[in-house]
Amino acid sequence: MQPMFSLADQLALSRNRPAGFDYLRLALAATIICLHSANVVFGVDRAMELLGHIRIGCAMVLALFFALSGFLVTASLLRCKSLISFLGLRVLRIVPALAVETTLSAIIIGPIFTALPLAQYFADPKFHAYFHNIVGDIHYELPGVFLHNPVPLAVNAQLWTVPYELWCYVILALLAVTTICFNRVLYLAFLVFAQIGFAWHDIYNSDVHYLHLRPPLLVFCFLAGVGLYLWRDKVPFNRTAFLLALTLCAAGMATRCTDALVVGPAAYVACYLGLTNPRRSWIVSSGDYSYGMYLYGVVVQQSVAALGPPVQHWYLNILISLPIAFGVAFVSWHLVEKHALRLRAQVEQIEAAVLSRISIAGFWRRSPEPIELGATLGGSRASV
């Protein structure tokens, strides 16, 4: 009998650097911008009605983002000597670019598009509160900005996922402290209990529908991605399993009442696609632009929509916003993000100094097969 070809085998074939994750992150970031075009052009209520007809696609996008993040971040966790470097690297990947985006939105986009006098704009409490975004306390509005857009005032609606991404990292850190994620049998039991709990919740809340998966289920997608990495040598990598998982996702998400049951299949779809290894092009070899596209996408789209009715068509919004968002993401990566990641050495120096003073070095285990990938999106954005 021929031995099973596993996710771990596919990782080994690509020398732990499969290009699929790079392409998948970019594709998902671009898809999110395309989906948001309905919101910024038609308004939230009309967009929900229209996008409801393609609910499967809408729900899959964020599910895949969170799942691939769980897979990649687990590799980072198992390479780190302690939570000091693990959490430090998460901060380096997320906070600097978010801080720059928040600042630019507040001091450039805001003054350009506000309907208020500048003195009043800068004195408004909403202007000062907007900077709380840097630490994950999300504020969507700047005073008088985009006041006449179909979605008024919302500058950066996409940031609603940031707190849930942070929860993913906190939960994974707690699972590390309790050693649950270092015992894959114990972790599997944890996932099974979580699956039962979420399924039970869905049964008793079947009248509540979301266009995307409920936020707790997105966190569960992340945790499912963690599980697939831990069990990567036992999970098959084959097209039949991929197609079956994709079919289960479509069937489950179409009903809107069985979302909890498609988390595992969605995580497998994300990992299968990510572990494919097509030839790398310049667009993925030169940097990771998915996070920047996520951060600036809605800001750019709202700015385009503010230009007035001539460009307030969904297809025009995509055609104009997508290349601009990519261009800004390109600049963000080369001027901010990659330089922030170079501070990794400083984080490891701090870790070494702390570990030399306390006897916890033996607590951590390294992964026997570390995966060396670029940062993820959304969210889901670090395996450094």
What's the rounded Cα separation, in Å, for the pair 324 and 43? 22
Q: Does position 269 have pLDDT exceeding 70, yes or no?
A: yes
Give 137-155 pLDDT, tens digit per residue.
Answer: 999 999 999 999 999 989 9
How much is the mean pLDDT over the chain? 88
SS (H, E, C) 70-123: HHHHHHHHHHCCCHHHHHHHHHHHHHHHHHHHHHHHHHHHHHHHECCCHHHHHH
- Using alpha carbons, select from 68, 6, 65, 74 the residue that is nearest to residue 30: 65
Q: What is the pLDDT of residue 256?
A: 67
CB-based contacts of 126, cutoff 8 Å, min separation 6: 139, 141, 142, 143
Average pLDDT over residues 317-332: 97
Mean pLDDT across the stretch 311-326?
94
Element (H, E) at 302: helix 290-305
Highest mean pLDDT among 40-49, 75-84, 166-175: 166-175
- Rounded Cα distance, 137 and 124, in Å: 18
Q: Domain spans of the chain?
A: 7-363
Model confidence over 278-304: pLDDT tens digits? 999 999 999 999 999 999 999 999 999
Contact 266, 67 (CB under 8 A): yes
Number of Cβ within a 10 Å radius of residue 343: 14
- Left (φ > 0), alpha (ψ -120 to 50) or beta: where does 284 sit? alpha
* The model's pTM: 0.90
CB 237 within 8 A of CB 9: yes
Give residue 334's pLDDT band: very low, low, confident or very high (50, 70, 90): very high
Least confident of 47-56, 134-143, 144-153, 160-169: 47-56
Chain position carrying tokens 């929860």:
167
How far is the C-alpha of 195 from the C-alpha of 176, rounded, in Å?
20
d(CA 149, CA 128): 22
Whether 372 has a pLDDT exceeding 60, the answer reads: no
Positive or negative: CA dihedral 139, 215, 189, 2? negative
Judged against a pLDDT cut of 50, whether residue 240 lies above it is answered with yes
Backbone CA torsion sign across 289, 293, 294, 295: positive
Q: Is the pLDDT assigned to residue 371 strictly greater than 70?
A: no
- pLDDT over 70, % of the chain: 90
Which residue has better confidence, 356 or 368? 356
Mean pLDDT on 240-259: 87
Render 156-191 in DSSP notation, one character per residue: -GGGGGHHHHHHHHHHHHHHHHTTGGGSHHHHHHHH
Please determine, for residue 327, whether its predicted confidence score (pLDDT) is greater than 50: yes
**Looking at the DSSP assignment, which residues form a beta bridge with residue 145?**
114
pLDDT given for residue 326 in this prediction: 97
